[in-house]
Amino acid sequence: MISFNYENDFKLVNEAKISKWISSVILNENCKEDEINYVFCDDDYLHKLNVDFLNHDTLTDIISFDYSVGKKLQGDIFISTERVEDNAKDFKVSFETELHRVIVHGILHYCGYKDKTDIEAKQMRDKENFYLNTLI
């Protein structure tokens, strides 16, 4: 089950469509969907999580806490809509495109994709782009 939660004024306008898309990504990656919670928040909220839980004193667009067991995906994905908005401007894409990229990025981590090395980051970006093209 995929749920969307809000700690700021942001609200997805198409929760059902996004949820269905995420479910299709999970199935396509041969994984099983369990409880996945998205939490949309601001920079301050996510920064506090980054400091408290990861000991990183930096801003970020996404933090995911993965509780998956094998291919059964479950976890909490926190997304700063402020960071997404700034990144969209920097990358010269729409807010919606960047938001969808970050949403699928979190799920791809749960599916086993990493992005620490250049090769891993390229593979992650290729997967993100593939799935962004499936969202109609």
Q: Is 126 annotated as a binding residue?
A: no
Q: Is 86 annotated as a binding residue?
A: no
Is residue 48 packed enough to be buried (19+ CB in 10 Å), middle (13-18) or exposed (0-12)?
Answer: exposed
Q: Is 115 annotated as a binding residue?
A: yes
Identify the DSSP state of 69.
Answer: B
Residues 6+ apart with CB under 8 A from 46: 59, 60, 61, 63, 78, 79, 80, 83
Q: Helix, strand, or coil here: 39?
A: strand
Q: How far apart are CA 97 and CA 61, in angstroms?
A: 14
Annotated binding site: 105, 109, 115
Annotated binding site for Zn(2+): 105, 109, 115
